Amino acid sequence: MRRAIELAKKGCGYTNPNPLVGAVIVKDQRVIGEGYHEKIGGLHAERNALKNCIEDPEGAEIYVTLEPCCHYGKTPPCTEALIEAGIKKVYVGNLDPNPKVAGGGIKILNDHGIETETGILEEECRQLNDIFFHYIQNDIPYIALKYAMTLDGKIATATGESKWITGEEARRHVHTLRHQYAAIMAGIGTVLADDPMLNARIEHGNDPIRVICDSNLRISEGSNIVKTAREIPTIIATISKDQEKIAKLEQKGCKILKTSEQDGKVNVKEVLKQLRNMEIDSVLVEGGGILNESLIKNDCVHKVYAYIAPKLFGGEKAKTPVEGKGIERIQEALVFDELKATPLGNDILLEGKVRSC
Ligand code: AOF
Ligand code: ZN
């Protein structure tokens, strides 16, 4: 199962909104086939492992990180392939929370006389698929905030300078995150200040869909984002009714997403629900303090990636990752679990998952 988990990770960034899944086939104590879900729409892990078998899998056992599917989706059910191949026993990491499967895969296997054992390295398997497990059971995508800050919690100097807070290694790392997430979200403030591309600049990187929260449609038609909207899908969420500007942006390939108004701004929850309806399973928010606050207030944050630079900026006017009024009582704080610290050059990436109460 450990090997199956390693294999599953290879699909990271290519399978959204489908899960990361790995499978290993063993016969007479020897591995005879391995596979993983390589990309959305492609063969599932079990079928890839069967395809890669170096000898007849009849009578073999399979280790698979997620319960085999039993439905006709983009591909036929894996249970069918396992039954046809004559697999004798299936070891499973997690049951599949997808309502189309949800224990049904195990049942069909058992009905065909195939032995099953579930919960093998369950926690490690589940950690592979935080995004998928959240996505399949909720009406908004999995949302992660990402920001770079100093040791005194500033994301810019008092005059607004923010290039660069962290070093090169940390900045390169951000691109691997952008590759993993299906969408990237930023506020119009960031777009006006930095004119960013918000793409994944790594080898074989998958660019996330770009979502800009732009309440009053201030984005310039000459911005890098708008200029490249035909190459990288771009959504602009707005409450503006400026039909002329909307038409111009649409002409350039942007998709305009209208929402109701919340505190004079775009209703972020509505944006997220619409993204979920478009099968976007995850959103990395490189937003700035106003957007971050609005997501936190709407209970729409599941993870944080804080890149921390060993510097002090000071200044009460220097911006911080979460603006707004903040909370009054410590008890009301958003608390994080499963913390992980990764040194990146002189900086540290601290990531954590929001504690579910
Ligand atoms: C995968 N890869 O290796 C396994 C999956 O409709 P489909 O064909 O895209 O099926 C997707 C569902 O199949 C997915 O949500 C999950 O429940 C199940 N298992 N999916 O993409 C795999 N084993
Ligand atoms: Zn399957």
Q: In this structure, which residue's CA is closest to atom 10 in ligand 1?
A: 73
User: Measured in angstroms, how far is the CA atom of residue 18 from the centroid of ligand 1?
Assistant: 6
Pocket mutation for ligand 1, best pick of 18, 47, 109 (most atoms within 8 Å of C-beta):
18
Output the CA 109–ligand 1 centroid distance in Å.
17
Q: What is the pLDDT of residues 105-129, one digit of tens each?
A: 999 999 999 999 999 999 999 999 9
Confidence of residue 297 (pLDDT cuts 50, 70, 90): very high
- Say what the pLDDT of residue 37 is: 97
Q: Which residues line ligand 1 (CB under 6 A)?
A: 15, 18-19, 21, 37, 44-45, 66, 69, 73-75, 78, 96, 98, 101
Q: Determine the pLDDT at residue 80.
A: 96
Atom of ligand 1 nearest to the CA of 97: 17
Axis-axis angle for helices 78-85, 104-111 (nearest 10): 20
**How buried is residue 330: exposed, middle or buried, by Cβ count under 10 Å (0-12/13-18/19+)?**
exposed
Residue 172, pLDDT above cutoff 80: yes
| pLDDT tens by residue, 41-90 | 999 999 999 999 999 999 999 999 999 999 998 889 999 999 999 999 99
Query: Is the CB of residue 189 less than 8 Å from the CB of residue 213?
Result: no
Place 287 in a pLDDT band, splitting at 50, 70 and 90.
confident
pTM for the model stands at: 0.93
Q: How many CB atoms lie within 10 A of CB 199?
A: 20
> Which residue lies with its CA nearest to atom 11 of ligand 1?
18
Q: Ligand 1, atom 3: nearest CA belongs to which residue?
A: 44
pLDDT digits (tens, 9 = 90+) for 89-98: 999 999 999 9
Closest residue to atom 21 of ligand 1, CA basis: 18
Look up residue 335 and give its two tokens: 């608390």
Residue 73 Cα to ligand 1 middle (Å): 8
Ligand 1 atom showing the smallest separation from residue 37 Cα: 3
Ligand number nearest to the C-alpha of 67? 1
Output the CA angle 245-251-252, nearest 5 degrees: 95
pLDDT given for residue 153 in this prediction: 97
Residue nearest to atom 14 of ligand 1 (CA): 18
Query: What pLDDT is recorded for position 267?
Result: 95
Ligand 1 midpoint to CA 67 (Å): 10
pLDDT(296) > 90 = yes
Q: What is the mean pLDDT of residues 253-275?
A: 95
The region that residue 314 occupies, defined by phi over 0 for left and psi between -120 and 50 for alpha, beta otherwise, is left
pLDDT at residue 235, rounded to an integer:
98
pLDDT of 357: 60
Phi and psi for 168 in degrees, rounded to 5?
-60, -40
pLDDT beyond 90 at 320: yes
Tokens of 193: 């200040």
149 pLDDT more than 70 = yes
% pLDDT > 70, the chain:
100
Q: How confident is the model at residue 356 (pLDDT cuts 50, 70, 90)?
A: confident
Torsion of CA 154, 157, 160, 163, to 10 degrees: -90
Beta strands (DSSP E) in the chain are: 22-27, 30-36, 61-66, 89-94, 115-117, 142-150, 183-187, 209-213, 234-238, 255-258, 261-262, 265-266, 282-285, 303-309, 336-344, 347-354
Tell me what the pLDDT averaged over the chain comes to.
96
ipTM of the complex: 0.89
Active-site amino acid positions: 46
State the Cα–Cα distance between residues 273 and 132, nearest whole angstrom.
Answer: 16
Atom of ligand 1 nearest to the CA of 15: 21
If you measure from the C-alpha of residue 94 to the centroid of ligand 2, how many angstroms do you get, rounded to a whole number?
A: 13
